[in-house]
């Protein structure tokens, strides 16, 4: 009986390795053992600045976890959402969350509601401020453009998977005078954020965001585990490059793609 589909053995072993790394690091973090700290990420420090600015100006904060369903970048966006929601609740600043995916919308509502509860201000939570706009890409975009101009958010935070609408939204946010922090893993869209936003989270930085902001040892532990995995990949790259130059990389490629 064939247990693995062709070419999936290496993938399985890799995921298993990741699981072990994450498990060990989370155990270490929970036990209070020393784990490395996450380096400074300017884009994430700017989130506090953006929330503070919105509070001072008495204008809302706009937040979006991106355009896709439950994919990695969306999870990253949902991971930062409680931090922003809690701060917004604490400072009594209106938070508008716009969502394109109906499932992500339901989870976003739960997250914001829970965050307001944890901030001790459950009465400030308004379900209508977590808005499912449209599941059509440019209908969503048109509606958010309208929200930017009508409600004039002073802070615009967009972390998740973004596609062709990224430039339109970020430009509209700039026009509305919002301080903007945006991040995505989509390499075909990051550059639009780089030119239009005040701070950009490049690729993997969005995955470290929730750990960086919350400073929770358990989340930090998982970022450390990811770093270990990246170091292994880096070492594999070096070995593979040397072996390829010596004409002996086939065995390694077969092993990885097994």
Helices (H), the chain: 9-30, 42-57, 72-90, 102-118, 137-151, 166-175, 190-196, 205-214, 217-245, 250-256
Q: Based on the shown chain and the rule CB under 8 A, indicate whether residue 188 belongs to the binding site for other proteins.
A: yes
153: nearest Cα among 110, 93, 83, 92: 93
With CB under 8 A as the contact rule, which of the stretches 26-34, 56-64, 80-88, 239-247 interacts with other proteins? 239-247
With CB under 8 A as the contact rule, which of the stretches 45-53, 58-66, 115-123, 185-193 interacts with other proteins? 185-193
The angle formed by the CA atoms of residues 160, 190 and 164, to the nearest 5 degrees, is: 75
Contacts with other proteins, 37-76, as mask; x by CB under 8 A: xxx-x---------------------------xxxx-xx-
CB of 83 to other proteins, least distance (A): 17
CB atoms within 10 A of CB 127: 9
160 sits in the region (left: phi over 0; alpha: psi -120 to 50; else beta) called left
Q: Based on the shown chain and the rule CB under 8 A, indicate whether residue 154 belongs to the binding site for other proteins.
A: no
For the packed helices 217-245 and 205-214, what is the interaxial angle rounded to 10 degrees? 150
CB of 48 to other proteins, least distance (A): 19
Q: Which of 120, 122, 146, 177 binds other proteins (CB under 8 A)?
A: 146
With CB under 8 A as the contact rule, which of the stretches 81-89, 91-99, 154-162, 221-229 interacts with other proteins? 221-229
The answer to whether 153 and 61 are in contact (CB under 8 A) is yes
With CB under 8 A as the contact rule, which of the stretches 47-55, 82-90, 115-123, 144-152 interacts with other proteins? 144-152
- Give, as ranges, the residues between 92 and 121 that touch other proteins (CB under 8 A): 103, 106-107, 110
């Amino acid at each position: 009986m064939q247990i693995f589909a062709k070419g999936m053995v290496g993938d399985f072993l890799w995921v298993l390795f990741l699981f072990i790394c994450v498990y060990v690091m989370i155990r270490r973090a929970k036990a209070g053992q020393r784990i490395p700290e996450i380096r400074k990420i300017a884009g994430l420090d700017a989130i506090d600045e953006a929330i503070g600015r919105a509070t001072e100006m008495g204008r809302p904060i706009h937040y979006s976890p991106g355009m896709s369903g439950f994919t990695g970048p969306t999870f990253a966006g949902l991971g930062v959402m409680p931090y922003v929601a809690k701060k917004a609740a604490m400072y009594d600043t209106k938070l508008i969350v716009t969502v394109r995916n109906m499932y992500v919308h339901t989870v976003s509502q739960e997250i914001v509601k829970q965050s307001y509860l944890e901030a001790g201000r459950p009465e400030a939570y308004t379900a209508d401020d977590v808005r499912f706009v449209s599941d059509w890409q440019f209908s969503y975009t048109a509606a958010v453009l309208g929200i930017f101009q009508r409600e004039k958010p002073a802070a615009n935070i967009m972390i998740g998977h973004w596609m062709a609408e990224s430039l339109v939204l970020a430009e509209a946010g700039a026009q509305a005078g919002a301080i903007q922090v945006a991040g995505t893993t989509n390499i075909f869209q990051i550059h639009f954020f780089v030119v239009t936003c005040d701070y950009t989270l490049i690729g993997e930085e969005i995955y470290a965001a929730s750990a960086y902001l919350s400073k929770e040892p358990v989340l930090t532990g998982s970022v450390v585990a990811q770093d270990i995995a990246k170091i292994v990949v880096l070492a594999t790259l070096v070995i593979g490059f040397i072996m390829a130059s010596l004409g002996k990389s086939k065995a390694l490629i077969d092993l990885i793609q097994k």
